[in-house]
Chain A
Amino acid sequence: AQKVTQAQTEISVVEKEDVTLDCVYETRDTTYYLFWYKQPPSGELVFLIRRNSFDEQNEISGRYSWNFQKSTSSFNFTITASQVVDSAVYFCALSERYNQGGKLIFGQGTELSVKP
């Protein structure tokens, strides 16, 4: 069965600190997809990134970076120089495919609070 674990329920940092959100997944599939979504206080879900299981290159997008380690089944998310606007709940998710029926299996989410 597929499972996603986000062990950190809540994280609180001070603005400009770096913060890493952990995500560990379980799957028996050899091909799968990993995602991160952001849920700000307004409640909507914002897509951040998709990563394929066969592409272990790390990715950087501005202050955001993602570290995919297949050997440890982890897909961690780092925010550099955090800002108050980064305060949100962040969800990691797993799917056996990303189109045509790829239902997402979500972790419990990590609530990030960035204080000024």
Chain B
Amino acid sequence: NAGVMQNPRHLVRRRGQEARLRCSPMKGHSHVYWYRQLPEEGLKFMVYLQKENIIDESGMPKERFSAEFPKEGPSILRIQQVVRGDSAAYFCASSQNEQFFGPGTRLTVL
């Protein structure tokens, strides 16, 4: 009964590189959410996806950030041309009812 899987757990990128964060939801869950936790802050909603559809992206930065949840495979949060301010913990949650969170990906931008 695997929980929500996220990889990598830690990711280091230099400014200007791309970061790809992966999230595999719990078995049977078709809803995925991404949240960001900046240092010393709470979690902020970024985007909500169902299979092949972005339902709510009201929390996504307008530029450089994108998310997908293809028919097959994990959900991907992609950050292009990373900057130091992108350094944060990125959490994925999946649900049928309650949201269960993955362990997070800690992104460090050098």
Contact = CB atoms under 8 A, between A and B. Distances in A.
A103 B100 CA distance: 12
Contacts, number: 56
Q: In terms of DSSP, what is the predominant structure of the interface of chain B?
A: strand
A37 to B, nearest CB: 8
Nearest to B91: A45
B31 A104 contact: no
Contacts of A44: 101-104
Interface in B82-100: 89, 91, 93, 95-100
Nearest to B97: A99
A113 to B, nearest CB: 16
What size tier do the contact residues of chain A reach?
A: 20 to 34
Interface residues of B, number: 26
Interface of B: 31, 33, 35, 41-45, 48, 55-56, 59, 89, 91, 93, 95-104, 106
A43 B102 CA distance: 10
Contacts of A37: 101
A98 B55 CA distance: 15
